[in-house]
Chains A and B, each alone.
Chain A
């Protein structure tokens, strides 16, 4: 009965590779997000999707491409991975409305060697 799930939990890869992280929520929410948490634990919004439509696209390199096949899924594809991409990536979801609680997934720890 996991609310927001992410796969994989850990991802270790070489520079220059392409990788994807998947996120699924079973809460019936219509908004999903990707956040990046760096090594100093700082969390920053990357993207948000509402009803499969991109709403926020922060100053993220275009090597990062989110894709939302339906309201319950928001995947993150990263091309040409760089050392600086190493971080924990969190998916979250909520109902539309900024006052609504965002439910976070367990995170995906990406390590680029």
Chain B
């Protein structure tokens, strides 16, 4: 069965500093990989996704992520964080069961705190 590991439960970063959130996955085939962000009391919003092609993908809000097959990783990065980036970040892998109407398998999330 597939799984997603986000090793950092909490990360604190100073405003303006760079950010990297880690994600490792376990999946038997070529995965589709996603990063979602959840602001307090809100639903999830897609930041970016990878399913083929260039292994460095650009997303919204200045985020990027790099797919490294050899390391089974899909780390999220941002060169300079803003206070509004404080949120919960989820890495996810799909498809869940190989079909086209699959859910995603989510990691447990990383809570990002921004220090002034």
Contact = CB atoms under 8 A, between A and B. Distances in A.
Interface of A: 4, 31, 33, 35, 40-45, 48-50, 55-56, 58, 90, 92, 96-99, 101-107
Contact of B100 (A4, A40, A50, A106): A50
A92 B90 CA distance: 15
B49 A104 contact: no
A80 B106 CA distance: 28
A52 to B, nearest CB: 11
18 contacts: A41-B88, A42-B106, A48-B96, A48-B103, A49-B101, A55-B101, A56-B96, A56-B97, A56-B99, A56-B102, A90-B44, A92-B44, A96-B100, A98-B95, A98-B96, A98-B102, A104-B44, A105-B43
Say what secondary structure dominates the interface of chain A: strand
A55 B94 CA distance: 15
Interface of B: 32, 34, 36, 38, 41-46, 49, 51, 88, 90, 94-97, 99-106, 108-109, 111
Nearest to A55: B101
What 5 pairs between A and B have smallest CB-CB spacing?
Answer: A45-B103, A98-B95, A50-B101, A104-B43, A99-B51
A45 B4 CA distance: 14
Contacts of B100: 31, 50, 96-98
Centre residue among B34, B102, B108, B109 by max chain A CB count within 10 A:
B102
Contacts of A106: 41-43
Nearest to B105: A45
Contacts of B41: 106
Given A43-B90, A56-B96, A98-B94, A4 B43 contact: yes
Contacts of B88: 41
Most chain A CB within 10 A, of B96, B97, B104, is at: B104
A31 B44 CA distance: 17
Nearest to B88: A41
A11 to B, nearest CB: 15
A96 B32 contact: no
Contacts of A42: 106, 108-109
A92 B32 CA distance: 17
